[in-house]
Amino acid sequence: MLRGFFTRSLANRLVLASLLAAVVLLVVAGALLLWMFRATLERQFDIRLEALLNGLLANIEQAEDGRIYLSRKLADPLFQLPASGWYWQITPMDARTGAATGPILASPSLLEKRFDVNWFEALPRDPDGAVRVTMMGPHGKPLRILEQRLDLFGEKRHYSIIIAGDARQLRDEAARFGNLVIVLFLLFGAGLAITIFLQVRFGLRPLRLLHDEIAEVREGRRKYLTGEFPDEIRPVVQELNQLIRANRDVLERARTQVGNLAHALKTPLAVLMNEAASRDDELGRLLREQTTHMREQIDLYLDRARRAALAGTLGVTTPVRDTITPIVNALARIYHDKAVRVDLQCDEHDVFRGEKQDLEEMLGNLLDNAFKYGGEAVRVTCRPDGDMLEIVVEDDGPGLSGEERERALRRGQRLDETSSGSGLGLSIVKELAGMYHGTIELESSELGGLRVRLRLPRAPAGEGARK
């Protein structure tokens, strides 16, 4: 379902792709920003450690017996505070073996703990010969350590000088900055998502305008697409206009050819009819019968061609109630002896998208059947259903069985041989409805008789009759 939601909508696909790209870029940018900030913090911290190391070196003195000591304590009281996380350590080492060769001098904050200088042997050193590393310290605190190997007092042995600072400051600063970056990037991401949504809607607006104009062409409110469209869509608009023009040309040629064919047949048909009229034998009767049928067929297909060309293409709309009322009044006068009560449940918002003549023919057939075969009650109901309008005609007559309903929709089928007519009524309604992509269904009515459910295209709300 989620896949269909995004694949059916171009706007959703554009928004999703843009949001995914934005999220990836924001995450990468945030990670790089945090890494750069942490690297900057470490450099600043290392500079502080270097300053402390230089201060420590400046205070180292050598006694007469060769031992080293500090001439004065470092000014920072954290080196005096036990397990403070700030430590220094000076370890005499043999220059050849790298082993400690004398007493280790350390800050009071280390207490009895000492750094293992051999551990630093395997670590890489920078061009200055220093090791910079973050690790857990002797008292279980994360430390940033600077370890330097130096020769002092011109002796052959050298010393390992260690300055360590509490790395929790780095961690806390990085965490605070990270939280700030997350909040800012969330706000930025939300603003970016809104911008992407508005940009996509604005960018796709010409497509919505194109859709509206195509709908107006289909409904007959305009002949061609005439709006101002971007350069990327203008070729499509031009091709659509060419297609509309070509479609109208094809329809016009088809109507012309059908008309020419019908008129070409009428002359020889008139000759045959005149010849048949001059004969009073069986052949004359057969000729009159067949030529009359041929003339009816020509008129029928001419009318059908006209309806097929007009149905749904010229945008004509017809109010249903205004069309039904005159038909009901006329039928009430014709069947005045039955005193039929008509319940009309249609209002001015029920508008058929098509020709009034076609709607009159469809409803005239249905209402004539309802008056003719019904008893005393006829009900007409209009129900809008999306783009379709459902018109239901019911009567309280005997109704039809399932087989009779199927036969009634076939051309030329007459279920009542005692009444006049050609048996084309319901089949004509079916054909006309089909030309408008509508349907007709026969059912049993609650009134006891037949219910005819006619579905036809519905005009947009607020449109009246238009020719």
Predicted local confidence at residue 216, as pLDDT: 78
CB-count exposure of residue 247 (10 Å: 0-12, 13-18, 19+):
exposed
pLDDT tens per residue, range 188-220: 888 888 988 888 888 888 888 888 888 877 766
Across 419-452, b (16+ Cβ under 10 Å) vs e yields: eeeebbbbbbbbbbbebbebebebeebebebbbb
Indicate the domain borders of the chain.
1-58+172-218, 61-166, 234-310, 318-457
The H or E element spanning position 250 is: helix 234-277
Tens of pLDDT, residue by residue over 251-309, are: 777 777 777 777 777 778 777 777 777 777 787 788 778 888 777 777 766 666 666 55
* d(C-alpha 7, C-alpha 26), whole Å: 25
What is the rounded distance in angstroms from the CA atom of residue 296 to the CA atom of residue 292? 6
What are the C-alpha distances in Å from 190 to residues 2, 27, 181, 193, 207?
Answer: 22, 14, 14, 5, 26
CB of 165 closer than 8 Å to CB of 143 = yes
Q: How confident is the model at residue 389 (pLDDT cuts 50, 70, 90)?
A: very high
Considering only residues 7 and 336, tell me which one the structure prediction assigns the higher pLDDT: 336
The bridge status of strand 87-93 relative to strand 158-166 is antiparallel
Residue 323: strand, helix, or coil = helix
CATH of domain 61-166: 3.30.450
What is the rounded CA–CA span in Å between residue 445 and residue 429? 19
| Rounded average pLDDT over 386-414 | 79
By residue count, the chain amounts to 467
pLDDT band at 421 (very low <50, low <70, confident <90, very high): very low
Structural domain 318-457, CATH architecture: 2-Layer Sandwich (3.30)
**Contact predicate 466/318, CB 8 Å:** no
**For position 28, what pLDDT does the model report?**
92
SS3 31: helix
Which of the pair, 151 or 41, is modelled with greater confidence? 41
Task: Summarize pLDDT for 46-86 with one digit per residue, the tens.
Answer: 888 888 888 888 888 877 776 777 878 777 888 888 888 88
Rounded CA separation 125/146 (Å): 10
